[in-house]
Chains A and B, each alone.
Chain A
Amino acid sequence: AQTVTQSQPEMSVQEAETVTLSCTYDTSESDYYLFWYKQPPSRQMILVIRQEAYKQQNATENRFSVNFQKAAKSFSLKISDSQLGDAAMYFCAYRSAEAGGGADGLTFGKGTHLIIQP
């Protein structure tokens, strides 16, 4: 079974600064997807960014980018120019690219609580 580890229970960053959230995972599969989700106090899960394992290029979405290191099984999220609205729980998630057999759902890490200091 796959596991996802987020070793930082909480991170704090000054507004407008850059912060990196760490995520590592364990899998024997070669093809899979990785995600970062944001959960603000409203509890709505919001997709931040997505990475396909077969792509070498790191995904970017405006101020959000990832550092995907497949050999190291590492998938960190960098948030540039942090804003107050970025404050939330951030969850790293894994999904197999194989269909069926329970491989279709997401496996989540425990989350990192991001605090933005004004």
Chain B
Amino acid sequence: SAVISQKPSRDICQRGTSLTIQCQVDSQVTMMFWYRQQPGQSLTLIATANQGSEATYESGFVIDKFPISRPNLTFSTLTVSNMSPEDSSIYLCSVRRLAGGGTTDTQYFGPGTRLTVL
């Protein structure tokens, strides 16, 4: 498996401000992902963050609103910019890693950051 930590675990923010969420992995990984889970909903992929290249955003998500950094193979940040109440969600970091003795490729998730925007 993978040990993934996120900071902060939760936050309450004011409309119009920005919040940066940090994701730290216990060992190097090539691919990191950011997901959003709106209240009572499923997970939606925001973007894929690879070290050394620009993040790839899914339809409906843009870099100006969700800038991502990936400075090395164990760390990434997601910023939620100019927040509105509609941004209230759980934001989850995820990595892909080989498991099963290197024969299977599985995706693991961090504990999530619960964001409330007032």
Name A residues whose Cβ lies closer than 8 Å to a Cβ of B: 33, 35, 37, 42-45, 47, 50, 52, 91, 95, 102, 104-111
The residue in chain A whose Cβ has the minimal distance to the Cβ of B56 is: A102
Q: How many residues of B contact A (CB 8 A)?
A: 25
A107 contacts across to B, CB distance below 8 A: 45
Q: B12-20, B63-71, B73-81, B102-110: which lies at the A interface?
A: B102-110
Q: Are A102's CB and B42's CB within 8 A?
A: no
Give the residue among A45, A52, A110 with the most B Cβ atoms within 10 A.
Answer: A45
A105 to B47 Cα, complex, angstroms: 8
Is B58 engaged at the interface, CB distance under 8 Å to the other chain?
A: yes
A43-B90, A105-B58 given; A91·B109 CB < 8 A: no
The residue in chain B whose Cβ has the minimal distance to the Cβ of A46 is: B109
Given contacts A44-B112, A47-B107, A110-B41, 6 further A-B contacts (CB under 8 A): A45-B43, A45-B112, A102-B58, A104-B31, A104-B33, A105-B48
A43-B90, A50-B106, A95-B107 given; A105·B112 CB < 8 A: no
